[in-house]
């Protein structure tokens, strides 16, 4: 198949649906096997010169992911982490040196001035009490409130942001929009993220080998949770190991590591709304200095300023609601963008655009 068809196959694989009769280990293994079958079907004239090397490296990654999951199922967490770390950093055997994935080629550079959003559900009677700091990560002296999430473990705060307000809402499981509060975050310093997003077609065309090489990690990280009420969710295993790797790297570099966190596509990705694909882009950023403050990570405070939280009904009362601008003459891509802009989510972003941004003040 040509690379356009291969892209369609890859994108159709995620998010990976859970299977009531199979566990996470089986689901991932079967999907990685299917993925390798697709890779091998790439037309000869579309393959890069070092195709055999690329194919071998992808196969090694798939095998490493399967080994890590098996180690976790056997209760050997350290072994599982070491396996993933070796896939990213490289390792040596008695006979040869095995290279890791080329991380320099798979980072997303977030530039100063970039915008993201964070949403919380808040009881109506409590909404007026929320301060900007309440929209940051859970304070370090309240670690006991940190539950397991896809890219974070209990007890270790992580700042979750979304590229769009809509993305926040989907990632939170579509809560009652009227019971949510949202803040707009603005990046104050450039940083890099490990890129685990599903690529757009344009990105795929620009660097197929990069996305092809890392896609097994995307597959293993985008398996939808089978039992949301369970305390332990195996679907979070690989994402959490990747977060541990990021934390370890930042610790080795004394908090000045190359990669701040992970940028990923939500496992809630769907076609229910006709919005641009980047609406599902999210950031997961673990705290960088967990022992230097009782409240908020001092380094993350430097990276982000944010608005006071607000909620949709309040802003509608203040400013009125924008109306749909019509769709005559718009291309399909432009129509997707307008659909988002004129939705409740887009209107909320517009309201937040005009609000004042401030640095977190731990004392306020």
Q: Please give the C-alpha separations between residue 1 and each of 31, 37, 138, 161, 210, in angstroms, as whole numbers.
A: 19, 11, 47, 37, 18
Of 68 and 350, the one with more pLDDT: 68
d(CA 26, CA 249) in angstroms, rounded, equals 30
161 in a domain, yes or no?
A: yes
Note the Cα 237 to chain centre separation in Å.
14
Question: Could you tell me if 120 and 254 lie in one domain?
Answer: yes
| Residue 322 scores a pLDDT above 50 | no
Of 105 and 349, the one with more pLDDT: 349
- Convert the pLDDT of each residue in 220-265 to its tens digit: 999 999 999 999 999 999 999 999 999 998 877 654 556 899 999 9
Identify the three-state secondary structure at position 354.
coil
CB 315 within 8 A of CB 348: yes
Question: Could you tell me if 55 and 91 lie in one domain?
Answer: yes
198 in a domain, yes or no?
A: no
| Residue 95 scores a pLDDT above 70 | no
Neighbouring residues of 265: CB distance < 8 A, sequence distance ≥ 6: 14, 196, 197, 198, 218, 222, 280, 281, 282
Question: Could you tell me if 126 and 32 lie in one domain?
Answer: no
Question: Could you tell me if 127 and 222 lie in one domain?
Answer: no
Question: Could you tell me if 115 and 101 lie in one domain?
Answer: no
Question: Could you tell me if 175 and 268 lie in one domain?
Answer: yes
Question: Could you tell me if 249 and 320 lie in one domain?
Answer: yes
283 in a domain, yes or no?
A: yes
Q: Please give the C-alpha separations between residue 34 and each of 12, 62, 75, 218, 347, in angstroms, as whole numbers.
A: 12, 11, 27, 14, 41
Identify the three-state secondary structure at position 219.
helix
For range 327-339, the mean pLDDT = 73
In the chain, the number of structural domains is: 2
Token couple for 6: 């291969």
Question: Could you tell me if 262 and 304 lie in one domain?
Answer: yes
124 in a domain, yes or no?
A: yes
CB 165 within 8 A of CB 119: yes
Question: Could you tell me if 257 and 121 lie in one domain?
Answer: yes
Give percent of the chain above pLDDT 90.
Answer: 66
Q: What are the DSSP calls for 44-63, one per residue?
A: GGGS-TTHHHHHHHHHHHHH
| Residue 163 scores a pLDDT above 80 | yes
What pLDDT shows up at residue 318?
Answer: 61
Long-range Cβ contacts of 111-116 (<8 Å, 24+ apart): 111/187, 111/190, 112/187, 112/188, 112/189, 112/190, 113/186, 113/187, 114/186, 114/187, 115/184, 115/185, 115/186, 115/187, 116/161, 116/162, 116/163, 116/184, 116/185, 116/187, 116/283
d(CA 276, CA 244) in angstroms, rounded, equals 31
Q: Is-cis flag, bond preceding 15, omega within 30?
A: yes
CB 284 within 8 A of CB 152: yes
Question: Could you tell me if 113 and 101 lie in one domain?
Answer: no
Question: Could you tell me if 15 and 157 lie in one domain?
Answer: no
Q: What is the length of the chain? A: 364
| Residue 201 scores a pLDDT above 60 | yes
Neighbouring residues of 202: CB distance < 8 A, sequence distance ≥ 6: none
362 in a domain, yes or no?
A: no
Question: Could you tell me if 35 and 148 lie in one domain?
Answer: no
364 in a domain, yes or no?
A: no
CB 162 within 8 A of CB 117: yes
Is the pTM higher than 0.85? The answer reads yes
358 in a domain, yes or no?
A: no
315 in a domain, yes or no?
A: yes
- Convert the pLDDT of each residue in 36-64 to its tens digit: 999 999 999 999 989 999 999 999 999 99
d(CA 209, CA 37) in angstroms, rounded, equals 16
**Residue range of the domain that includes 331:** 107-193+240-353
For residue 11, what pLDDT band results from cuts at 50, 70 and 90? very high
Q: Please give the C-alpha separations between residue 210 and each of 101, 213, 340, in angstroms, as whole numbers.
A: 10, 5, 29
């Amino acid at each position: 198949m040509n690379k356009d068809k291969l892209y369609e196959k890859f994108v159709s694989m995620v998010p990976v649906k859970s299977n009531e009769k199979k566990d996470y280990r089986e689901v991932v293994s079967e999907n990685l096997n299917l993925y390798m079958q697709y890779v091998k079907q790439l037309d000869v004239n579309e393959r890069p010169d070092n195709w055999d090397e690329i194919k071998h490296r992808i196969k090694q990654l798939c095998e490493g992911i399967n080994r890590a999951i098996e180690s976790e199922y056997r209760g050997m967490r350290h072994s599982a982490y070491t396996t993933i770390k070796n896939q990213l950093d490289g390792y040596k055997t008695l006979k040869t040196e095995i290279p890791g994935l080329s991380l320099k080629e798979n980072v997303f550079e977030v530039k100063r001035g970039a915008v993201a959003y964070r949403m919380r559900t808040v009881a109506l009677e409590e909404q007026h009490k929320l301060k900007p700091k309440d929209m940051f990560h859970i304070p370090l002296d309240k670690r006991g409130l940190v539950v397991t999430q896809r890219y974070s473990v209990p007890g270790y705060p992580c700042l979750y942001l979304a590229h769009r307000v809509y993305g926040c809402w989907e990632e939170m499981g579509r809560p009652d929009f009227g019971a949510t509060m949202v803040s707009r975050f603005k990046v104050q310093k450039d940083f890099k993220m490990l890129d685990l997003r599903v690529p757009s077609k344009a990105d795929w065309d620009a660097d197929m080998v990069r996305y092809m090489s890392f896609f097994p990690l995307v597959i293993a990280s985008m398996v939808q949770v089978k039992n949301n009420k369970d305390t332990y969710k195996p679907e979070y295993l690989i994402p959490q190991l990747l977060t541990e790797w990021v934390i370890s790297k930042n610790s080795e570099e004394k908090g000045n590591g190359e990669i701040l966190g992970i940028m990923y596509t939500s496992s809630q990705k769907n076609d229910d709304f006709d919005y641009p694909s980047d609406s599902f882009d999210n950031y997961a950023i673990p705290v960088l200095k967990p022992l230097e403050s009782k409240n908020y990570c001092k380094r993350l405070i430097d990276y982000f300023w944010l608005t006071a939280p607000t909620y949709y009904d309040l802003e509608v009362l203040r400013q009125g609601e924008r109306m749909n601008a019509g769709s005559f003459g718009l291309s399909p891509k432009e129509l997707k963008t307008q659909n988002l802009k004129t939705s409740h989510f887009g209107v909320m972003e517009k309201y937040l655009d005009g609000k004042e941004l401030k640095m977190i003040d731990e004392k306020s």
